[in-house]
Amino acid sequence: MSYTVLIYFSLLVVGAIISQKGLISDKFADKLGSIQNFFLLFLLFTMGVRIGLDKKVLSSFFQIGAKATVLAVFSIIFSIIFVRLVRNIVIRDKEESHES
What is the mean predicted confidence (pLDDT) over 45-62?
86
Write the single-letter amino acid at 82.
F
**Domain span holding position 97:** 60-100
What is the mean predicted confidence (pLDDT) over 9-17?
93
Instruction: Please give the share of the chain, as a percent, with pLDDT higher than 90.
Output: 44
Domain for residue 78, yes or no? yes
Which is more confident, 58 or 48?
Answer: 48
Domain for residue 87, yes or no? yes
What is the mean predicted confidence (pLDDT) over 19-25?
88
Domain for residue 85, yes or no? yes
Helix (H/G/I), strand (E/B), else coil: 55: helix
Q: How many domains does the chain have?
A: 1
State the average pLDDT for the chain.
88
Q: What does the alpha-carbon distance between residue 77 and residue 59 come to, in Å, rounded to a whole number?
A: 29
Which is more confident, 46 or 61?
Answer: 46
C-alpha distances (whole Å) from 72 to each of 6, 64, 67 are: 28, 12, 9
Domain for residue 74, yes or no? yes
Domain for residue 97, yes or no? yes
